[in-house]
Structure 1
Amino acid sequence: MNLRRDVRAGGTVLAALVVLGAILGWLWAVLAPSTLALVLRDGSVAELPTESYHLFDDVALFALMGLGAGLVTGAAAWVWRTRRGTTVLLLVVLGSALSALVARSVGLLAVPEGPAAAAVGSILALPPTLGTWMVLVAQPLGAAFAYTTAVAFSGDDNLGAGPARQAEPQGHSTVGASGAGSLHEGPPGFSSGSAER
């Protein structure tokens, strides 16, 4: 029964991260800047001066969005008290890596395509690109950092897993009351009068 519940919970987490990745990819396609280029006589294109900086902007925007999503994912997984531990950490990291892969795929598919042909000397807006696969590391790295930081600051041996503990009311400790009375009691047959003799 516990195994079925764990599998169901893991599937829910993975599905949520896949949806998150699709949303991140679409947002990146909308927000990432295009690169302006000049059409040359041979049909090739040359980027205008300073436009090459947008190639870095595209990568940086994707990485920062993934890092932010990973931090939120790791923090949300820590709030899930009943499932804290190594299994949840691995699930969150692997799920975030899958989410980043989905974001990259959706983002590159959602960007508008450039014109198939253009006149010589015209200016084209080249779609944003992601030139490196290293951008996929940011989201799982953020998730792992957020979760392990919460683990490091946890003072419980079981990481506080399970339902939240309720504080015990003050002044109702039976041990303290009985202990206080036993301090004034002696062994059987002993009385305060006999001690004074």
Structure 2
Amino acid sequence: MVDSAGKAAHRSSAVADTWSVPVLFPPQRPRVVVKADLLPAVSVLSTAALLGIPLGWLWSLMAPPQRMRLVTADGGLAPLELESWHRFDDLAVFGFLAMATGLLIGIVAWFLRERRGPVVFVAAVAGALVAAWLGTQMGPAFANSRYSVDSPPALGAVVAQAPRLDSGWVVLAAPLLTCLVYALMTAWNGREDLGRRLG
């Protein structure tokens, strides 16, 4: 008696498992919004690009100058001992500042909840790249004006040479960190629409 009741219950559960409620309107996956995000993307790109000016100004204040000795009357300069290391220091300081700029751009772009997606992501990365390039142009200009020499120095005098950037590859630090931050936020979110509907 128990076995027959157990078998009947098993058959009824198997029948119940085979039946399912038909879905007349399957949920549609959210599509990429392009047209509505173009104007906000332009705003993100231009605003992020303007960060290159304070980036260059901060670098001109933080980058160490290279002390040089005037060795010839026609303006020939020779670096003092260990002062040539500052060429790497200048590059490293700009790299860290560019990464901080990329981090800031990525976080702010992610918090634009209603505009999350590939369009704003591409605009943020492009804005970070333009900001880093603008920083490489404005930074040496600020530094040259800061360490300008008003009068010609005497022979053997020690002068401070303005910091400079010896490599253009440092501009990639900002967009790479923007990509990393936005990708980590996207993976952490886990929603198909990245939470746009909650905005």
TM-score range, shorter chain: 0.7 to 0.9
Which of 153, 178, 182 pairs up with 1:143?
178
* Distance apart, 1:120 and its partner CA: 1.4
* Distance apart, 1:84 and its partner CA: 1.3
**Which runs of 5 or more structure 2 residues have no equivalent in the other structure?**
1-33
Output the CA distance in 1 between the equivalents of 2:128 and 2:147. 28
| Deviation by residue 1:166-197 (Cα, 9 ceiling, x = unmatched) | xxxxxxxxxxxxxxxxxxxxxxxxxxxxxxxx
Output the CA distance in 2 between the equivalents of 1:22 and 1:122. 33
RMSD of aligned residue pairs (Cα, Å)? 1.7
Which of 106, 131, 141 pairs up with 1:74?
106
Output the CA distance in 1 between the equivalents of 2:40 and 2:121. 14
Give the aligned residue type for 1:102: L
Output the CA distance in 2 between the equivalents of 1:60 and 1:50. 16
**1:38 counterpart residue number:** 69
**Which runs of 5 or more structure 1 residues have no equivalent in the other structure?**
165-197
**2:85 counterpart residue number:** 53
**1:177 counterpart residue number:** none
**1:122 counterpart residue number:** 157
TM-score, normalization: structure 2?
A: 0.75
After TM superposition, what 4+ stretches of structure 1 lie above 6 angstroms from structure 2? none
Output the CA distance in 1 between the equivalents of 2:192 and 2:48. 29
Identity %: 31
Q: Is the 8 A contact 2:91 2:165 kept in 1?
A: yes
Give the aligned residue type for 1:36: R
Output the CA distance in 1 between the equivalents of 2:37 and 2:152. 54
- Number of aligned residue pairs: 162
Output the CA distance in 2 between the equivalents of 1:138 and 1:117. 38
**1:175 counterpart residue number:** none
Q: Is the 8 A contact 1:114 1:124 kept in 2?
A: no
Give the aligned residue type for 1:31: M
**1:23 counterpart residue number:** 54
Output the CA distance in 2 between the equivalents of 1:13 and 1:78. 11
